[in-house]
Amino acid sequence: MIEALLPPGVTSSEVFDDEAPAPLFPAEAALMEGRLARRRRQFATARACARRCLAALGHSPAPLLPGPGGAPAWPTGVVGSITHCDGYRAAVADLSDRTSALGIDAEPAGPLPEGVLGLVTSPAERDHLRELAAAHPGVFWDRLLFCAKEAVYKAWYPATGVWLGFRDATVALSPDGTFTCTLDVPAAVSEPVDPLYRGRWSAGPELVLTVVVRRD
């Protein structure tokens, strides 16, 4: 599913259940001690996906430990992103001299839980969602918009180390499978940063998926 959303060169690996048993490096296993079995399986399977991406880029297997803010620390020279939700685990990666930022997110197909939409969208975005739903029923546009913001955040955070709220981002979804996300860049970011992220999405019967790739 995810490969179809990616440009040439970005490697990906996805699975639809937990592989048994996906091996971890000692430092990764130590992190998972005492965690729920579901979280351990999710973490391990996603790392197996990530190591397949690394192998495709010619990198040896390496531990992928969470860095500041929870972002996984990829080996030097690699950027990547991880997602997991019920029935899906995936990783993508590329060389950092070709791709500067990557973000992916998967969410279960279905409407956002009650009360969430108002927290993660502006009134203008809610108008946009109503127009999309009227013209193209059958897509969970609200879930897709949320998913797009999460993918943008995963591309944004490793590059800046700065928290971004849902209201700092304005997403415009296109029925052609693309989206844009324009950020209100927080004052805490000192370097000039392009506020426009472009992404792609897909929506299936079980999952919605979003991908952000920045090459600059």
Ligand X SMILES: CC(C)(COP(=O)(O)OP(=O)(O)OC[C@H]1O[C@@H](n2cnc3c(N)ncnc32)[C@H](O)[C@@H]1OP(=O)(O)O)[C@@H](O)C(=O)NCCC(=O)NCCS
Binding site for ligand X (CB under 6 A): 43, 46, 66, 69-72, 82-85, 105, 149-150, 152-154, 157-158, 164, 166, 168-169
In the complex, what is the shortest distance from the CB of residue 68 to ligand X, in angstroms, rounded to a whole number?
8
Measured from the CB atom, the residue of 21 and 136 that comes closer to ligand X is 21
In the complex, what is the shortest distance from the CB of residue 33 to ligand X, in angstroms, rounded to a whole number?
15
In the complex, what is the shortest distance from the CB of residue 150 to ligand X, in angstroms, rounded to a whole number?
4
DSSP symbol at 168? G
Measured from the CB atom, the residue of 39 and 136 that comes closer to ligand X is 39
In the complex, what is the shortest distance from the CB of residue 65 to ligand X, in angstroms, rounded to a whole number?
9
In the complex, what is the shortest distance from the CB of residue 51 to ligand X, in angstroms, rounded to a whole number?
13
In the complex, what is the shortest distance from the CB of residue 105 to ligand X, in angstroms, rounded to a whole number?
5
Nearest residue to ligand X by CB is 70
Measured from the CB atom, the residue of 38 and 136 that comes closer to ligand X is 38
Measured from the CB atom, the residue of 57 and 153 that comes closer to ligand X is 153
Measured from the CB atom, the residue of 87 and 136 that comes closer to ligand X is 87
Written in H, E and C, the secondary structure of the chain is CCHHHCCCCCEEEEECCCCCCCCCCHHHHHHHCCCCHHHHHHHHHHHHHHHHHHHHCCCCCCCCCECHHHCECCCCCEEEEEEEECCEEEEEEEECCCCCEEEEEEEECCCCCCCCHHHHCCHHHHHHHHHHHHHCCCCCHHHHHHHHHHHHHHHHHHHHCCCCCHHHEEEEECCCCEEEEEECCCCCCCCCCCCEEEEEEEECCCEEEEEEEECC
Which contiguous run of DSSP H or E holds residue 83?
strand 78-85
3-state secondary structure of 110: coil
Measured from the CB atom, the residue of 24 and 169 that comes closer to ligand X is 169
